[in-house]
Amino acid sequence: MSILYNISIQLYVVAIYIASLFNAKAKFWVKGRKDIFQKLAEAIKGEHNIVWFHCASLGEFEQGKPIIEGYKQKYPTHKILLTFFSPSGFEIRKNYKGTDWVFYLPADTQSNAKKFINIVKPIKVVFIKYEFWFNYMAELKKQNIPFYSVSAIFRDGQAFFKYKWWAKQLKNVTHFFVQDKNSAELLKSIGFNNTTISGDSRFDSVLANTQKQVRIPLIETFSKSKPTIICGSTWPKDEIILVKYIKDHPENNYIIAPHELHHISDLQKQTDALLYSKVNETNILMTNVLIIDSIGILSNIYQYANIAYIGGGFGAGIHNILEAVVFGLPVIFGPNYQKFNEAKELIQLGGAKSICNYTELNLAIDSFTDFDKKIATDYIKNSSGATDKVLETI
């Protein structure tokens, strides 16, 4: 089975290199890993007491961020290395000041894992949520380096609970910090008791965001003129329904922050919107639709909305709803939310609704006209604290 795993990694790398000829994201993936071991060695230059944090992408970074910053506060003399697998994480956070170095993670081959770990010589390693790269994990175990899986979440259908070889790989984990009781019980069912139910560290991350809010004066001016609905991290399937609603309901203001920016011109034409990069104090109130064509400001825009629609639910799954919920907003999203505990819990509390079509979107927005913000803010406060539980152990 390990042979098949290593072959699959090699095939994945080949596929990425081929895709890089015509796909911008794949091109970043390849370019970011060029001469990476040389760059890594030059950057570290014999430093010691390095703690290595790894995130797949931006969402996992938000889970890891409070732990990284909390750890650095407790151990200021330790050095922090942060790695990303995806360009969508690295390219946005490559200049993050909370760590000493930010790099791409080389592909999970046996030789890469050995070379990377021998250069870094980490004293402990933290991987966030779904990240389980088996060759890296095996090499860390071989060198007796503690490996922690943080904000992990497991489900019955995963390969770990179907195949012995997959389950065996988890023996290389020093300790699991899982989000919920179900994850702990699943691990116990295959013989792992080295678990702590810590919750989801994203709650700590979004709470921290509210304590250092960044004002955006133009958005503030825009949102004061009418009730404002923000549509965050939307995909084309979300936008089909949203565009119709926007046209039928001019009584609101709308802020749309697409997940990907390549189709913005089409979206702009359909909604008669202004681009955020083009607005000023003179024209900001000449439209009721703004399209955010800047990266990295969405989490601060939610503070100016009354209701949030979060995209992704008509595809692989919803994006981060907690960034909106922390500001007391009710949230609406598409039908594919089952993998997200926070979505299910907020639906039960009355702070969220899932929709499948235009009619349901209408009903959902109407139902949140007099929403009690305490439902959302209390949920965030009551669910926070994962960071402290993790730091007590690592």
Section 56-84 average pLDDT: 94
Q: Which SS3 state, helix, strand or coil, does residue 152 take?
A: strand
Q: Hey, which residues does 147 pair with through a beta bridge?
A: 125
Q: What pTM did the predictor assign?
A: 0.85
Question: Half-sphere exposure (CA, 13 Å, Cβ side) for 281?
Answer: 1
Highest mean pLDDT among 144-148, 286-290, 340-344, 385-389: 144-148
Residue 121 confidence (pLDDT) above 90 = yes
What is the distance between the alpha carbons of residues 208 and 380, in angstroms, rounded to a whole number?
11
Mean residue pLDDT across the chain: 94
* Tokens linked to 281: 């104090």
Whether the domain at 2-209+385-393 and the domain at 215-382 fall into the same CATH topology: yes
Asked if pLDDT for residue 101 goes beyond 90, the answer is yes
Using pLDDT thresholds of 50, 70 and 90, give the confidence band for residue 58: confident
Question: Is 308 a residue whose pLDDT tops 90?
Answer: yes
**CA separation for the pair 394, 335 (Å, rounded):** 37
* Cβ-proximal residues to 366 (8 Å cutoff; 6+ apart), any chain: none
Q: Is 37 exposed, middle or buried (0-12, 13-18, 19+ CB in 10 A)?
A: middle
**pLDDT, mean of residues 154-168:** 95
Confidence of residue 39 (pLDDT cuts 50, 70, 90): very high
Question: What is the residue extent of each domain of the chain?
Answer: 2-209+385-393, 215-382
Place of tokens 């091109």: 27
| Across 376-394, average pLDDT | 94
Per-residue confidence (pLDDT) for residue 197, from 0 to 100: 96
Residue 262 has pLDDT above 90, yes or no: no
CATH 3.90.1580.10 for domain 2-209+385-393, yes or no, is no
The beta strands (E) that lie in 189-317 are given as 195-197, 228-234, 253-258, 274-275, 289-291, 307-310
pLDDT at position 198 over 90: yes
Q: So what's the pLDDT on residue 27? A: 94
Which amino acid, 16? I
Query: CATH class for domain 215-382?
Result: alpha beta
Side by side, which strands form the sheet with 274-275? 274-275, 289-291, 253-258, 228-234, 307-310, 331-333, 352-354
Q: Phi then psi for 149, rounded to 5 degrees?
A: -100, 120
Say yes or no to pLDDT of 213 above 90.
no
Cβ within 8 Å of residue 224, ≥6 positions away: none
What's the pLDDT at 324? 97
Answer whether residue 223 shows pLDDT above 90. Answer: yes
Query: DSSP readout, 156-185?
Result: TTSGGGT-HHHHHHGGG-SEEEESSHHHHH
- For residue 38, CA distances in Å to 10, 35, 45, 114, 323 come to 21, 6, 11, 14, 37
Q: What is the mean pLDDT of residues 363-368?
A: 97
